[in-house]
Structure 1
């Protein structure tokens, strides 16, 4: 039997703030790039909004850009942040550090196949399904530890968030591209429904801004 509406758990999947590689349109993947001053300001602003939701737990990727983003919310809520490498961005091998224009020029067919939704090891790295295999179960385990009606904030990366949402919604991997990307420091919200997790909000948190990053 499902929980009453007011007792259902929610998951906020929050993307990190802006980095210099976002601005340069460079594929970051697992490269540890820090936030810009703008990114830190974005994190502080978003944290003020998310703190009002009274989260019960914060789970974050262990990369610097997500650690620093999560720290802003932890400072306001007094919650500890649990970091896990399972929430890192997709490892993209030789693509990492290249701009999207450079990737298209050097690996055009591979890039096009990825955008068509085909299973591709971008740059010799991970498949999107492999990212979901490591990230989604970690998010579910954390959500299972919430009290009834509890809220979990997950601080991660655009591609990882998209694949996690796709997996938790039960969508086929070929359709995950239909989920639009997240702007820096914006978030999506999943809520428990009668038949499983439901997408309640997507790319929320600010006036519309361009989506810049690996998941463009």
Structure 2
């Protein structure tokens, strides 16, 4: 069996305030740092052979905590970034965005993403994210685990696409908690007639005290 563990970054002050981040390079706050340190030994116990991370500070800071427990050095990859949400949305709460840019906000609610300047579509994100996951999966040998540290919205669309699911089932997934993680395993099952494939085995696992 091969395994990919996909971890959302810890909390930031912008998360706490409900401010949209996108590609803004916001660092972990004190709570986020504590979350990263708490999850690190749990994931290190899986004996990962590699850690890949978005280069944005909130993800790379989380990856650094896991790496310190695992004896590894994270590999930073811009393909693992969150959705680029455009300059007008970045840093604002939903209410502030609606007040400052009502036409863009209405387009967002209507799913008319192409009408929003600078905003990535789901297809844009998948075009960079899924090849990244595929390349990591291909480096893992039998019995090995790799950890990917990224962002909530990007992971929610990338996981079903990586698994080959049709449509956009990620909308049916719950929101990943800060430092919540996803487990994908590549193994044979009786459901697939003994054929090995990647499967989702856990969504939004969190450390429990």
- TM bucket (normalised to shorter chain) is 0.7 to 0.9
Unaligned regions of 5+ residues in structure 2, if any?
188-194
**3-state SS in 2 of match to 1:95:** coil
Q: Structure 1 residue 135 and structure 2 residue 136: aligned? A: no
Query: Which residue of the other structure, out of 179, 182, 189, is the alignment partner of 1:185?
Result: 179
Mapped partners of 2:18, 2:32: distance in 1:
15
CA contact (8 A) 1:11 1:143 kept: yes
Question: How far apart are residue 119 of structure 1 and its match?
Answer: 5.7
Task: Measure, in 1, the Cα distance between the counterparts of 2:150 and 2:66.
Answer: 13
In structure 1, runs of 5+ residues without a counterpart are 1-7, 208-216
Q: Identify if the C-alpha distance between structure 1 residues 199 and 187 changes in structure 2 by more than 3 Å, giving closer, same or farther.
A: same
- Please state how far the C-alpha of 1:191 moved relative to its aligned partner: 1.0
Matches within 5 A, 1:1-216: 8-93=1-86, 94-105=88-99, 106=102, 107-114=104-111, 123-193=117-187, 194=195, 196-207=197-208
Distance 1:35 1:121 in 2: 31
| Distance across 1 between alignment mates of 2:201 and 2:23 | 28
Q: Distance in 2 between matches of 1:28 and 1:45?
A: 23
Q: CA, structure 1 residues 206+121, in 2 after alignment: closer, same or farther (shift >3 Å)?
A: farther
TM-score, normalised to structure 1, is 0.85
**Cα deviation, residue 125, structure 1:** 1.2
Query: What is the CA distance between 1:85 and its match in structure 2?
Result: 0.4
- TM-score normalised by structure 2 residue count: 0.88
- Per-residue displacement from partner, 1:146-197 (whole Å, max 9, x unpaired)? 1112111000001111121021122234332112220001101111143632
How far, CA to CA, are the matches of 1:146 and 1:85 in structure 2? Answer: 20
Q: Matches of 1:187 and 1:42 in 2, distance apart?
A: 12
Superposed CA RMSD in Å reads: 1.9
| Higher gyration radius (CA) | 2
